[in-house]
Structures are given as structure tokens and as C-alpha cells.
Homo-oligomer: A and B are copies of this chain.
Amino acid sequence: MKLIDLSHPLEHGQLNFPFDPKLSVLVHNTVSSIGYNITQLSMSTHQGTHLDAPFHFYDDGKTLDQMQLEQFYGACSIIDLAPGAFVQAKQELTIEMFEPHEDLFVAGARIIYRTGWDRMFGKPEFFSDFPTLTLEAAQWIADRQIGLLGMDTPTPSTDWKECHHILLKKGVEIVIVEGLTNLEKLPPEFVFCGFPLNIKGRDGSPIRAVAIVD
């Protein structure tokens, strides 16, 4: 068994989307003062590698505590959209790029796609110039009723509102895992593990996403 870390580390002041609360890693106390190091962590529920619950875009959508653990753990496939290379900045990800892999898109499937954009993590361009899923491709994916969609971009689409509405709406409710990394290290099939913190009543959670490879 081999474990592959699919998560970016969390660091004080790390960039995220302009209107999101910033990540603060604050020394709360120290070994020399009271005997132990302890930290106050302040962050967005959508910081770094994280996942979205339907409540993120729908007030009547499921919150983290209303989701099943099985949605976050199990067999998963990777679709490499640019093997050995990178998808260009701002390039549209179209139905035609997913169609050759249509057999993977069965009900409940967990699917992650790789663009190579994780190499830009830490730069402002990571959040402005990422490859972007077309709304037609998002609808094509939603129609296939998969269970989880992961990616190495900070969000699936520049049409963020419409795209999230398509993927998270009642009856579709795909778990969206954003900001993954190391996807080029994955074999075609593996076990995905990315349990969210159980933040009652809320919209998303940073996760330590890990691939378990036999």
C-alpha cells in the first residue's frame, strides 16, 4: 500500500480568492511560556485543498453534517487532460475532452481530472487564469450522476455561480473537491480519501486529500 498526498500545505497569509477570509496561523502559546506550543488557526472553509457541500450555493442544500462519509472515501479514477504536459491557462475544458472517458462516468463514480494547474499554486494567476470547465461540460457531467468531481484548479469554472449551481443542485449534489495537487503521480485507479471536518450547518471544509494505492 502506498499513500500519495493530494493536498497543498496550509501557510500563514496563503493566497485565496479576493473576497474570502484569509488564512492566519497564529502562535497562541509556546513551550517556553506555558509548556506547550498551540496554534490558533483562522481560515475560510474553502482554503487550499477543500471540498464544497451543496449548502455552499443553495440555502436549502445539504450541509457537511448532513452528508454521508461514503461520499468522501472510495474507488476513484483520474482523467489526465494533458498527459506529460499542462493544459494552457484559461483554456476551456469541453465535453469533447471528457467524452473519450465516458465509460468512467457511471452513477456514483468518483472522478478527478488533471490539468497541471496546481503548479501555479501560491501565485495570483492560480485564481485568475485557470483552465475552465464549460457549462455544457458541467451539465454533461451532472447528467451522468457521478458522486464526486475533483480537480487541480481552485474552482471548476470562471462561470463559478452557474457551474456550482449545476453540480450542487438538489438531486445532483456532486461533491466538488477543489485545489488538488500531485495528480500526475496517480495510477488510473485508486482509493480517494478526503473526509471534511464535521462543521455543523456549514458549507465546506479544508481537507487532507490522500490517494491510497495498492
Contacts and interface: CB of A to CB of B under 8 A. Distances in A.
A184 interface: no
B38 A28 contact: no
Contacts of A212: 73
A172 interface: no
A208 B73 CA distance: 12
A65 B9 contact: yes
B37 A44 contact: no
Interface stretch (A95-103, A108-116, A142-150, A193-201): A193-201
A68 to B, nearest CB: 8
B199 A69 contact: no
Interface in A60-109: 65, 69-70, 73-74
Interface size class of A (residues with CB under 8 A): 35 or more
Contacts of A25: 199-202
Contact of A3 (B1, B10, B34, B70): B70
Given A31-B59, A195-B210, A39 B69 contact: no
B45 A200 contact: no
State the number of copies, please. Answer: 2
A38 B65 contact: no
Interface in A167-212: 193, 195-204, 206-208, 210, 212
8 contacts: A19-B34, A37-B56, A37-B59, A38-B56, A39-B199, A41-B44, A196-B208, A198-B208
Interface of A: 1, 3, 5, 7-11, 19-21, 25-26, 28-29, 31-32, 34-46, 55-59, 65, 69-70, 73-74, 161, 164, 193, 195-204, 206-208, 210, 212
